[in-house]
Chain A
Amino acid sequence: MSLSITPTTHVTTESRPFRVTLCLVALTLTAILLLAPLAVVFAEAFREGAAAALDMVSERDARAAIGLTLTVAAIAVPLNVIAGFAAAWAIAKFDFRGKAVLISLIDLPFSVSPVVAGLALVLLYGAHGVLGDWLAAHDLKVVFALPGIVLATLFITFPFVARELIPVMTEQGRAEEEAALTLGASGWHMIRTVTLPNVRWALLYGVLLCNARAMGEFGAVAVISGKIRGQTTTMPILIEMFYNEYLSVAAFSMAALLAGLALLTLALKSFLEWHHADAIAASRRH
Chain B
Amino acid sequence: MIRPSPLPGFGLGMGILLMALTLVVLLPLGTLIGRGVLMGPVELWQHLGSKRVASALVLSFRSALVASAFNLVFGLLLAWVLTRYRFPGRRLVDAALDLPFALPTAVAGIALTALYAPNGTFGKLLEPLGLQVAYTEAGIWLALVFVGLPFVVRTVQPVIEEIDPEWEEASATLGASRLRTMVRVVLPMLTPALLTGFALALARSVGEYGSVIFIAGNLPNVTEIAPLLIVIRLEEYNYDAATAIGLAMLGISFAMLLLINLFQVWGRRRVGHV
Which positions in A face B, CB cutoff 8 Å?
Answer: 8-9, 11-15, 19, 22-23, 25-27, 29-30, 32-38, 40-41, 44, 79, 82-83, 85-87, 89-91, 93-98, 102, 105-106, 108-117, 119-124, 128-130, 151, 154-155, 158, 174, 177-178, 181, 187, 191, 209, 212-213, 215-219, 222-223, 235-237, 239-240, 243, 251-252, 255, 258-259, 262-263, 265-266, 269-270, 281, 284-286
Contact = CB atoms under 8 A, between A and B. Distances in A.
A12 B231 contact: no
A79 to B, nearest CB: 8
- Of all A-B residue pairs in the complex, the 5 with the closest CB atoms, nearest first, are A113-B207, A216-B104, A218-B210, A11-B172, A90-B13
A212 B6 contact: no
* Dominant secondary structure of chain A at its interface with chain B: helix
B148 to A, nearest CB: 11
A36 B115 contact: yes
Most buried by A among B77, B99, B104: B104
B106 A94 contact: no
Contacts of A38: 99, 103, 111
Nearest to A24: B87
A44 to B, nearest CB: 6
Contact of A216 (B5, B106, B208): B106
A111 B254 contact: yes
A178 B242 contact: no
Interface of B: 1-3, 5-10, 12-17, 20-21, 24-29, 31-32, 34-35, 74, 77-78, 80-82, 84-85, 87, 89, 92-93, 95-108, 110-112, 114-115, 120-122, 145-146, 149, 154-155, 157-158, 165, 168-169, 172-173, 178, 200, 203-204, 206-210, 214, 227-228, 230-231, 234, 237, 239, 242-243, 246, 249-250, 253-254, 257
A280 B228 CA distance: 37
A120 B26 CA distance: 10
B31 A130 contact: yes
Contacts of B111: 37-38, 40-41, 44, 255
Contacts of B203: 110-111
Contact of B9 (A89, A212, A270): A89
Contacts of B107: 41, 216, 236, 239, 255, 258-259, 262
Given A34-B100, A255-B111, A219 B77 contact: no
A12 B8 contact: no
B6 A181 contact: yes
Contacts of B106: 216, 218, 236-237, 239-240, 255
A96 B1 contact: yes
B115 A178 contact: no
A258 B145 contact: no
A123 B36 CA distance: 11
Contact of B207 (A44, A116, A236, A281): A116
Given A86-B16, A239-B106, 12 more contacts: A11-B169, A25-B77, A37-B108, A91-B17, A93-B7, A95-B2, A96-B2, A155-B24, A212-B102, A212-B104, A223-B231, A259-B103
